[in-house]
Amino acid sequence: MLETGIKAPDFTLCNQDGKEVRLSDFLGKKVVLYFYPKDNTAGCTKQACGFSESIEDFHEENCEVIGISKDTVASHKRFEEKQNLKITILADPDLEVIKMYDVYHEKNMYGRKVMGVVRTTYLIDENGMIVFAKEKVKAATNPIDMLELIKK
């Protein structure tokens, strides 16, 4: 996991519509940047829907929400449509940004050790600095926790 107090590494990935999105496009706004393991799984769906349901509250705080997983653009599009998501989700099937943000680690899954995305959330300020970082966040409460944090 990257440390707080450093400049968030810039990147370019495609969103659920296949459009390129750069982190630097959001300078001047806060950004909740969260990494999640897989589209259409129970925890990831709760997390994405929670952020989506609260998106207007985030916008009132001058904050955008961006989710990243290793799923494809096509998978993200299906996820967005099925769950009626109102947040940006970015595809990183090559793990470029996932590894850049140091969220790809060995995990214990059903007694087996596997490599995977560790559910991690960063808060990036208007100047592109990481001001909060937490790994192994709880999917169900992460959206509420982040909203409370940015309202402080």
Nearest to 24 by CA among 12, 41, 35, 34: 12
Catalytic residue among 14, 44, 49, 63: 44
H or E element that contains 14: strand 12-15
Token pair 């592109």 is found at 128
* Cα–Cα distance for residue pair 152/136, rounded to 1 Å: 22
* Cα–Cα distance for residue pair 8/62, rounded to 1 Å: 18
Catalytic site includes residue 44: yes
Strand partners, 130: 124
Residues forming the active site: 44
